[in-house]
Amino acid sequence: MRRKEREIKDLATMEKIIGGSSVCRMGLCDGDRPYVVPMNFGYREGKVYMHCAPEGRKLDVIGKNPHVCLEFEADLQMKYAQEACDFTMYYKSVIAWGRAEVLKEPEEKARGMNVIMGHYTGKEYDFPAQALARIVVIRVDVDEMTGKQNG
């Protein structure tokens, strides 16, 4: 990282930033073209869970190349100034790398959905088998994370 004074190395601090994020952006490699998708998510113990429809581009890409990059951000605030070059953005962000896996077992899917729902509501839910059969739950096992902040 070029700006070492902005680097975050502490795992608990990075996990707090992830917890304060409302969206996870998942970057994939679709052949020779990058593809980034904003996703609802949940994070627990080094794993990120997301859900989607059972068909689509992201699943096609993950099937060919499961290596992904995730971006989380929190506490965004513009610092205004008199001169254009004196503006800055205050932020906290985390970039994570890992492998995406499509969960198959209903129990795993329900667990992942509860991590997602817990992120947004703080609650756990019951998921009927029919509902779980209609969705795909993706788990990303995080291999590496780095954080950065300004302000």
Which domains are delineated in the chain?
4-150 (2.30.110.10)
Give pLDDT tens digits for 86-130.
898 899 999 999 999 999 999 999 999 999 999 999 999 999 999
Helix (H, G, I), strand (E, B) or coil at 9: coil
> How many other C-beta atoms can be found within 10 angstroms of the C-beta atom of residue 37?
16
**Is 1 a residue whose pLDDT tops 70?**
no
| pLDDT score at 5 | 72
Please name the amino acid found at residue 124: E
Contact criterion met (CB below 8 Å) for 113 and 49: yes
| CA distance readout (Å), 28 to 60, 97, 100, 151 | 11, 11, 10, 30
**Is 54 a residue whose pLDDT tops 70?**
yes
Task: Mean pLDDT check: name the lowest of 33-37, 58-62, 78-82, 129-133.
Answer: 78-82
**Is 7 a residue whose pLDDT tops 90?**
no
| pLDDT score at 29 | 96
